Structure formats: C-alpha cells, structure tokens
Amino acid sequence: MERHGGKITYENIQELKYLDLCVKETLRKYPGLPILTRECTQDYRIPESDVVVRRGTQVLIPLLTISMDEKYFPDPEQYSPERFDEETRNYDPDAYYPFGAGPRNCIGIRQGILQTKIGLIIMLSRFNFYATIPAKIKFEGSQYSAPSSSSEQAADCGVKVKMFVYTLALVALVIFLGLKYIYSYWDRHGVSNIKPNIPYGNLKTVAERKESFGIAINNLYQRSTERLVGVYLFFRPSLIIRDPYLAKRIMVADFQHFHDRGVYCNEHRDPFSANLFALPGQRWKNLRAKLTPTFTSGQLRNMMPTFMAVGQKLQAEVERLVEEPAVHNVRALMSRFVIDVIASVFFGFESNCIQDPRDPFFVTLTDLVRAVSFINNVRSAGVFVCPALLKLTRLSSLPPEVIKFVKEIITYQIEHRERNDVARKDFLQLLIDLRREAGENKEEKLSIEQCAANVFLFYVAGAETSTATASFTLHELTHNPDVMVKVRQEIDEMLERNGGKITYENIKELKYLDLCVKETLRKYPGLPILNRECTQDYRVPESDMIIRKGTQVIIPLLAISMDEKYFPDPEQYSPERFDEETRNYDPDAYYPFGAGPRNCIGLRQGVLVAKIGLILMLSKFNFEATLPRKIVFEAATVPLAPHGGLPMRISRRVK
C-alpha cells in the first residue's frame, strides 16, 4: 500500500505473494464446495482395475476429505500457507483442486479470488480482528456439545425429535427420488416403455402371484406395438424384443453381442449356480464344447434301451390304473415317467417314481425345488430377475437340502464307478469318460461338483419341458378328434410294420406325430420366454437405437407363437401348418428351443422322450378330456404348467 500511495489495483494485488498462499491454504481447509460431482456418460473401466463404472452412475469426489487427508496434506489441521510456497512445498499438487479440474471446472476462479483478496486487503489494512471462538470451526448441521440446564435438555430433546422426523422424511424422499430415477431409465434413454408400478416395475401381477413370470411378460407384449419396448423386471430395466426377426438375429447372427443370459452365476461362492445355462462368456463356451458330444443322436440311440425299459413300466402302471375306468392326472403320470428317465440316464440309478409317487427321489426333487416359501421366492427372483439380490443376501441359488441331496447321489455314483471300473450306457457315464480323458489336467477335468451342478440343470431343464410336451399334446388330441385319429393310425401302422417294436429309427418314421409335437411346442413352448444379456453395445439394425452393454433383453416366445401375424388362427391346434405341403406359418418366427449357439442342448432328447411317452400311451389307451380346451396356467412357475394338472378319463383301447 505504501509503495503505491494506498492505491489498490489489479497489478498491485498480484504482488501480494503471501496473501495468495493464505487464500490457497484457506481454500484447502474450507473449500467453497466440499464435494464435486460428475455423471458417468459412457461406461468407464477404472484404470488398473476390473471395476467398470456404468453409464448413468453418479460419481462423488469428496474434496474436503481429500484436502484434510494427511496423506496429501501433512498436519492438515494446521493452517500453514507456507505449504504452498515453492521453496517449502509440503502438499501433493495432484490432490489439490479447490475449483474442480478439467473442462468442467469453476468458470469464475479469477473473479472469485480477486474479490476475496480485495475484501481482505481493505479489512486487514484498516482494522484489527480478535478471535472469540476456538480455531476449530463448527459447521452448520454439526453436533454441538451437550447442554447442561434442564431447559436446554428439553430443547435438545425437541431438536432430536425434529431431527428424527427430518431424517425419516429425508430417507423417504431419497428412496422416492431413487425409485423415480430407476423407473425413468427408459424415458431418459428415449425408449418407448410400459408404465411401471413402483416398486414392482412391470411385474406387479407376478409379485401378487396372479400370473407366472412367463405369462406376465407375454401379456406385456400385447400392450405395445413397437419393435422393442422397455419394461422393468422389478428394478431391472429390460427390453422386450417384439420383432421375431430381430430376436432371431440377436440369437444367431449377432450372437457376439449377446452371448450371456445375465442370470445369477457365482462359481466360487455357489458352485451349483455355475451351470451351462448360467455361465457367461468363455467359461460357457468351454463347457458347451465339452458337453455337446454327449448329446448327439448316436448317444441317444445308445440310451434307447433305458428309455424303453422305463416306458414299459409306465405302460404297466397305466394298465393297472385303468382296470377300473377313472380320471387320472395325465401330467403327473408323464412327469413321473420323465423323472424316472432322468434318474436313470443322468443320475445313474433306477428310481421308482412311476409306481411309487412317494419315491424319495421324486419327493425330494419335486417338493424341495417347488416348495413355496418367502426365501425360495427370493432365490428365484435373484436367479432370474435380480442377481444382486443373492449377492446382497448371500443366499444360495438353490435350497441347501437340494444341493446336498444331488451332490451326495452324484458323488457316490461317480466314485463308485471310477473305483470299481463299472460302466453303464447313460449320460453320467459320458461325464465320467470326459473326466478320465482329461486325466490330471485340472483345467480340463470336470470336478464332481461341476458334474453334479450340470446333472441337476439337466433335470430342471429336461423334466418340466419334456413332461409338458407330452401331456399338452395329449390334452390337445382329446380336443381335436381328427388329429387324434390320424396320429393314432400312424402309430398303429408303424407298430404293425415293426412287430410292435419301438426303435430310434421307427420313431423317425412317424411324420404326423412329429408335426403334432411341433404344434404343441408352438402353443405351449417349454420356456415361454428366452433371455439374453447384451455383452457389447449393439446398434439395432435399421434404426438409430443402441442397446447398451449390460441390458437384459427378453424374447417373448409364447406371445410370438400366438401372434396371428406369424401363425394364422393361432388358437387352433393345427399340426398341418408345419407340413411342407400345407405350410402355414413363418419359419423365422418359430424357435421353441431357442436359436444360435446358445440354443437348447437337449432338444433331441426332450423330443424323443416325449414321443416315446406318447407312442406308449396312444397305442394302448383312450383319453377323454375333462377340462375345457383353453388351459388356465399356474401362477407360480416359469414354465407353463396347467393349474390343477391335466385330469383325463383313461380307458384301455379295444382294437
């Protein structure tokens, strides 16, 4: 001031180096904004780590905390302008950015600093200042020391109640805003979507157990006319692909963008979840390559004697049941047949579910897997809809009793056969052979746990689907007498030609039965929906829309199969639509076993077992409907299951 005759100019202020250090130190201890924020606008892998910050995530930079961290600013409580002096520097310049940094930093830095300095120069040159409070400042909203008088305590109590109410209101507001944010995902991304219900998303009817997951998704299909429509599976934004051609492209030609299912899978914590259906990426590819040779038609032909032995037991049991004409649940009968087949070829031992509905294998698997409880609902929702739920609750994907039961059977079977050099013509043997071929190569060798997890998957994937195919076919035949006469005649003629013998080759002769099974799989697909996770950003062909990596896509198989655009008169059961000569459907919209590299690995077996069951039943017995044609589906399961089963009047055929 003296040098410049008391004049304060822009240039004079630049001379005040120590004042500048003071302002810097003040901005460290008391940054104007204690936190900085950014929104991630493009998926970002954190350098030198596997963590990916997803697009849309809010990122917080705790400026005050960093500025008061002694790692970057030694003795941080000490007000020491000298730490910013070049000669006595004592801070980490890369951790100091009181005005933010980069293109989005404070636009008014210079003005802010200048105003502050002018204020300080004027005040300090003319006045003295003495402290009346301690150096450590208590900020607005911080805790104050306990009051001593009773009136102060009463006031404090009032403050606490108020604080509690405010906190509750704040939590409610944060939850409300959080949910609003989650459920605005598709609006924010400019995608047409179906209005969700907070907090169920578009699955309120599933939460209320009024509809199964599959039926609910297919009903959502009816509520839009767009090619793709955004929905929320509880909290998870997902896209329903309403265009069957695009769906096929996603599964086949553009598979590299959609090679995973995005369902729960945790190899280390829950090895049973790491099965072929759930595994992602390369781990899925390796396992699929190992297992594919075990599902060839050659292997199936080898297993024919086992299928037929179980089939004879089914025929004998129904013979016994119809000594007195009565109504029987055909679905339950078929289910027991299919489970005996699965026990024999996958688990490697003979169960007796056909003759004994209380067989321990049947009871354990069906009761434990289907047991309805809150915990099991959390498990199913976690596996299919919200994998984070299982991570959060640390629940396993299956009830521990089921895991123990399956592991014990498979461990016993594998160890017994390996130790005693016993071989059997079944699928388990093929897994044992694979283990032997891998020798001591730990990378290649399937562990017993992996074998058990996949055997159990084959039970889950094969039992309901094959049962449904056989029993829904019988249901439709009872309502379509012309079709029944035609398919029966074909079966009778084939058996006559072959002296009553059913072989792999004979079954191939049954062209009309094949059309019937195809039509059943259209009206009642084994899985009413298919799903994929987008594994690489994908531009939807002939549009500007991008499906972002991580998005769950759903293909509403049942709704497509029942859409008259692709299958005229869809309610009509018409096997002839699949006949080459009278073809009446769009082949690009028909994929009951999925499509592309991730399609059903067991399709041949599923169809073969269903056909064997049908041939054995139709050749010997009459079936009469007791239910109307239109089926009411169970609300609880993912596959289509008729509510109350499929009761039919069964009697012995008189030829």
Contact residues for ligand HEM (CB under 6 A)? 251, 276-277, 288, 457-458, 461-462, 465-466, 469, 521, 526-527, 530, 592-595, 598-603, 605-607, 610
- Tokens 């801070």 — which residue? 91
Sort strands 552-555 and 58-61 into parallel, antiparallel or unpaired. Answer: unpaired
CB of 482 to ligand HEM, least distance (A): 24
Q: DSSP 3-state helix, strand, coil percentages of the chain (rounded to 5)?
A: 50, 10, 40
Rounded Cα–Cα distance for residues 291 and 121 (Å): 81
With beta carbons less than 8 A apart as the criterion, state whether 610 and 474 touch: no
Rounded Cα–Cα distance for residues 271 and 452 (Å): 10
Burial class (CB in 10 A: 0-12, 13-18, 19+), 102: exposed
Q: How many C-beta atoms lie closer than 10 Å to residue 290's C-beta?
A: 18
Name the DSSP letter for residue 255: G
With beta carbons less than 8 A apart as the criterion, state whether 139 and 145 touch: no
- Tokens 């002694």 — which residue? 70
CB of 605 to ligand HEM, least distance (A): 4
CB of 452 to ligand HEM, least distance (A): 14
Rounded Cα–Cα distance for residues 649 and 584 (Å): 33
With beta carbons less than 8 A apart as the criterion, state whether 385 and 236 touch: yes
CB of 528 to ligand HEM, least distance (A): 9
Nearer residue to ligand HEM within complex by CB, 28 or 522: 522
Query: Which value, to the nearest 10 degrees, does the dihedral of the CA atoms of residues 223, 226, 230, 232 take?
Result: 20
Tokens representing residue 287 in the block: 């396992």
CB of 464 to ligand HEM, least distance (A): 9
Nearer residue to ligand HEM within complex by CB, 203 or 300: 300
CA angle 344, 345, 351 (to 5 degrees): 15
Nearer residue to ligand HEM within complex by CB, 462 or 613: 462
Nearest-CA neighbor of 478 among 339, 345, 311, 617?
A: 617
Nearer residue to ligand HEM within complex by CB, 228 or 553: 553
- Tokens 């020798």 — which residue? 439
CB of 289 to ligand HEM, least distance (A): 10
Nearer residue to ligand HEM within complex by CB, 183 or 472: 472
Nearer residue to ligand HEM within complex by CB, 66 or 338: 338
Nearer residue to ligand HEM within complex by CB, 115 or 292: 292
Comparing every residue's Cβ against ligand HEM, the nearest one is: 594
Rounded Cα–Cα distance for residues 456 and 431 (Å): 13
Nearer residue to ligand HEM within complex by CB, 99 or 633: 633
CB of 278 to ligand HEM, least distance (A): 8
CB of 248 to ligand HEM, least distance (A): 10
Rounded Cα–Cα distance for residues 494 and 48 (Å): 67
- 34 torsion bin: left (phi>0), alpha (psi -120 to 50), beta (else): alpha
Nearer residue to ligand HEM within complex by CB, 610 or 616: 610
Burial class (CB in 10 A: 0-12, 13-18, 19+), 170: exposed
CB of 508 to ligand HEM, least distance (A): 17
Residue 353 annotated in ligand binding: no
Kindly state the helix (H) or strand (E) to which residue 313 belongs, with its residue range: helix 297-321
With beta carbons less than 8 A apart as the criterion, state whether 615 and 510 touch: yes
Nearer residue to ligand HEM within complex by CB, 279 or 491: 279
Q: How many C-beta atoms lie closer than 10 Å to residue 625's C-beta?
A: 16
CB of 71 to ligand HEM, least distance (A): 48
First to last CA, the chain: 122
Nearer residue to ligand HEM within complex by CB, 216 or 428: 428
Rounded Cα–Cα distance for residues 644 and 360 (Å): 23
CB of 177 to ligand HEM, least distance (A): 37
- 533 torsion bin: left (phi>0), alpha (psi -120 to 50), beta (else): beta
With beta carbons less than 8 A apart as the criterion, state whether 213 and 202 touch: no
Q: Which residues are annotated as a binding site?
A: 600
Q: Which residues are annotated as a binding site for heme?
A: 600
